[in-house]
Amino acid sequence: MFKLELSKVSGILVEQSKLFECDLKTAWEKWMHPAITEQFTYEEVRLFIEGNKRKCNSIREENKQ
């Protein structure tokens, strides 16, 4: 089995949701490959994505000042 990084999986999930014009949960359940969903849970990936959004927003705020 190949090993994926959480950062790559989160990027794949975001792109799948854009491609199929659906929310992250639907993209995870309907469109993610089983090889990915066997290695990570939806919750792990969602929390990673949310954490990165917060980090990006805080960097943007710091840059505005």
Tell me whether residue 43 is in a domain: yes
> Which tens digit of pLDDT belongs to each residue from 11-36?
999 999 999 999 999 999 999 999 99
Asked if the model's pLDDT at residue 58 lies above 80, the reply is: no
Q: What is the number of structural domains in the chain?
A: 1
Tell me whether residue 1 is in a domain: no
Comparison of pLDDT for 63 and 37, the residue scoring more: 37
Tell me whether residue 14 is in a domain: yes
Q: What's the chain's average pLDDT?
A: 86
DSSP string for residues in 19-53: HTT--HHHHHHHHS-HHHHTTS-HHHHHHHHHHHH
Tell me whether residue 42 is in a domain: yes
